[in-house]
Chains A and B, each alone.
Chain A
Amino acid sequence: MKTNTPAILTGTHTLSGNEACIEGAFAAGCRFLAAYPIMPALETIDRYLQRSSEVDATFIQMEDEISALAAVIGASWTGKKSMTITSGPGLSNMMEHLGLSVMLETPCVIIDVQRAGPSIGIPNRPGQGDVMQARWGSHGDYELIVLSPSSPQEMFDFTIKAFNFSEKYRSPVLIMADEYVAHQKGEVKIQPANKIKIEPRKYFKGEKDKYLPFKRDKNFVPRMVDIGENYKFHVTGLTHDDRGYPVMTEKCQEYNVHPLLWKILNDRDEIAEFKESNTDDAEIVIISYGASSNTAQKAMKQARELGIKVGSLKLDTVWPFPDKKITELAEKVKTLIVPEINYGQIVLEVERCSYGQANVVFVSHGETEIDNPDNLISIIKQSQKEKQVKKGIIEYRNETRRG
């Protein structure tokens, strides 16, 4: 399936991350947005409304984030590609419905423009404190796909990718942008609409009375139909069998929930994408995602100029986590440095996957260091002095930065 609406932008444009996200959504075929205004994602809604009449898309501002995601799930079942946009506190409010969309296996996309937290935090400053929440925030067991863009161009590309993943795996997909990326203006190259690959919805084709809403194919993904086509199906957030009827047994719980994980995990090597640079001869590798990868790139360049063998691994997909790649790197290099705009989240995963084979150095950095890699360079130098592999996460704290 290809997009064919003439209103989709093509060519090169200068867009902010927020705007690029909306253009990506339209290109991917998104036609329904339910949202609740929140800093720093406000520009997305503005852009959506400016463009919605051109592409014939619907917007509704709901009374809170809880209902926004509920409305998105409802809309998705009518056959429209749907999404919602929020930031940290809104994502926290959506946690219950994230679970519902997993259980109903509803394709939808959630854009989270992260800000400094916890709680209200600082609404107009960047943060990366929601990455663990994206994976673990709702109760119960589930797996989902989380992408982390680092520039407006990636914001555009990843939004399309997110819609494709959500249709392919019938699962909610999260985009964890941050304030820095969302407000950054940059050049976005957009291919002609007919060259953008769009994953079609997996519809059920067969006799109406034989339709089972949760009958899985060999990839554990069930087929979908739209409301209003006389299938008369039932879906529920309770543990259910193939027909969608609740069954309150241990067996059904296993039957229903375990494949929810498998459908993502079986394809994790395909889903988990990353960008490697200079890792062949590297002794130190900086693992980063989102806005931090801008810093990582700059630091790598400067360090190379200084003659330090530094490589970089940028995670495009944060969840499912590329375990194997990290283990591979850990066996090869001396030190893994993880800069994050939080107090240690993905670094825990890196520590887990490194199996004590390399030093894991954590750098908690703030927005001022996104464009300024000095601190990271000094930490690279400091980490070179470590002679042995240490257990646990190493953090060189620069106490003067505090307060």
Chain B
Amino acid sequence: MESKEMAEKNVLPKDVPTMDVHPMDDVLRMDRIPHIWCPGCGIGTAVTAFAEGLKKAEIDLQKTCIVSGIGCTGRVAGYVKLDSFHTTHGRGIAFATGIQVANPDLKVIVFSGDGDIMSIGGNHFIHAARRNVNMLVICVNNFIYAMTGGQVAPTTPHAAYATTSPFGAVEPPFNIPYIADSSGAVYVARWTVLQVRRLTDSIAEALKKPGFSVIEVISPCAMYYSRINRLGDGLDMMKFYHDNTEIRHGEDTKNLDIGFQTKIIVGKFVDRERPTYMDSYNKWLSGTVKD
């Protein structure tokens, strides 16, 4: 392809289809770009970090697949050029458990949103963590249900507005790293999309780690969360993250609550060893089931 050669020579092509030239061609489905996300949305950045992380981790991409549920982040699977599955709402982790248990050679990534993973899929989340199924869960937290138009999510900070909490969210939100930690995840980190390099490193590290890893990615939702709460556009949210995030590695996860426009603590909080589900399964069965 002409354009590919041009890309190799680092020449910007003129009047040729642009799908072949981006350096992330090999991990993203460039024929589906532009994607559906709004201007100022951070999910695209999270995908870039993920793609870079995949490259950095140097794992066998053939043995890697990605699953997502429903929602804005649920569309990620369709843009990543791996074996990809776009499943039903909340069931991404359950679906991935099936893949992983039926074929333990595969590395499964569940890339989905806060509503998908923590609300309707909350049960599967804690159970997969408890079992320590070998998968990486990347949970993009934009504090709201964005695909359906800005309803209150289980992560919406107290008193923040949403269309179904027109007088401010009544319920306290989930602290995702705390749940993951207490349910038994082996790797727990949180980053905002602004710390994109650290996020990339974190993804690369988690990809290589066997067991249930969770990375919470805080992302601006310019169209719903910021708009309803009058927080400006995506860039304003990024500036807010710039001024109000603090990196504290190894922080006790119970201190990681996020309030409405309060300080966000990011970093790598948990990194421990536990036998994965398939390890325990094989070990236990080989000990108890006699031939």
Direct contact of A and B (CB under 8 A): yes
Residue B105 at the A interface, CB < 8 A?
yes
Assuming A80-B103, A236-B78, what are 15 further A-B pairs, CB within 8 angstroms?
A: A32-B102, A62-B97, A63-B94, A63-B123, A67-B97, A73-B95, A74-B85, A74-B100, A75-B99, A75-B103, A77-B85, A234-B78, A236-B77, A236-B85, A236-B86
Name A227's closest neighbour in chain B (CB-CB).
B83
| B52-89 CB contacts (< 8 Å) to partner A | 61-63, 65, 67, 77-78, 81-88
Residue B270 at the A interface, CB < 8 A?
no
Name B120's closest neighbour in chain A (CB-CB).
A66
Name A59's closest neighbour in chain B (CB-CB).
B101
B207 vs chain A, min Cβ distance (A): 16
How large, as a class, is the contact surface on chain A? 35 or more
Residues in chain A within 8 A of chain B (CB atoms):
31-32, 34, 53, 58, 60, 62-64, 66-68, 70-80, 82, 96-97, 99-100, 104, 227-238, 245-246
Contact mask for chain B residues 277-291; partner A; CB cutoff 8 A; 1 contact, 0 none: 000000001000101
Residue B96 at the A interface, CB < 8 A?
yes
Q: Is the CB of B98 within 8 A of A73?
A: yes
Name B103's closest neighbour in chain A (CB-CB).
A78
User: Known interface pairs A53-B285, A67-B124, A235-B85. Does A74 touch B95 (Cβ–Cβ under 8 Å)?
Assistant: yes
User: Known interface pairs A227-B83, A234-B84. Does A60 touch B101 (Cβ–Cβ under 8 Å)?
Assistant: yes
Q: Is the CB of A237 within 8 A of B101?
A: no
Q: Is the CB of B78 within 8 A of A228?
A: no
Residues of A within 8 A of B103 (CB): 75, 78-80, 227-228
State the interface size on chain B (CB cutoff 8 A): 37
Q: Give complex CA distance A234, B67 in Å.
A: 10
User: Known interface pairs A71-B98, A228-B62, A228-B63. Does A234 touch B86 (Cβ–Cβ under 8 Å)?
Assistant: yes
User: Which among B93, B95, B105 has the greatest number of chain A C-beta atoms within 10 A?
Assistant: B95
Name B65's closest neighbour in chain A (CB-CB).
A227
Contact mask for chain B residues 177-208; partner A; CB cutoff 8 A; 1 contact, 0 none: 00000000000000000000000000000000
User: Known interface pairs A75-B98, A228-B62. Does A235 touch B86 (Cβ–Cβ under 8 Å)?
Assistant: yes
Q: Is the CB of A66 within 8 A of B78?
A: no
Q: Is the CB of B102 within 8 A of A96?
A: no
Instruction: List 26 A-B pairs, Cβ < 8 Å.
Output: A32-B102, A34-B101, A53-B289, A53-B291, A60-B97, A60-B98, A62-B97, A63-B123, A67-B123, A67-B124, A70-B87, A70-B97, A71-B94, A71-B101, A74-B102, A75-B103, A97-B91, A227-B65, A228-B62, A230-B61, A233-B84, A234-B84, A235-B86, A236-B78, A237-B87, A246-B86
Q: Give complex CA distance A31, B88 in Å.
A: 24
Residue B227 at the A interface, CB < 8 A?
no
Instruction: Give the contacting residue for A62; candidates B77, B94, B100, B285; CB below 8 A.
Output: B94
User: Known interface pairs A74-B95, A245-B32. Does A64 touch B123 (Cβ–Cβ under 8 Å)?
Assistant: yes
B5 vs chain A, min Cβ distance (A): 19
| B256-271 CB contacts (< 8 Å) to partner A | none
Residues of A within 8 A of B63 (CB): 228
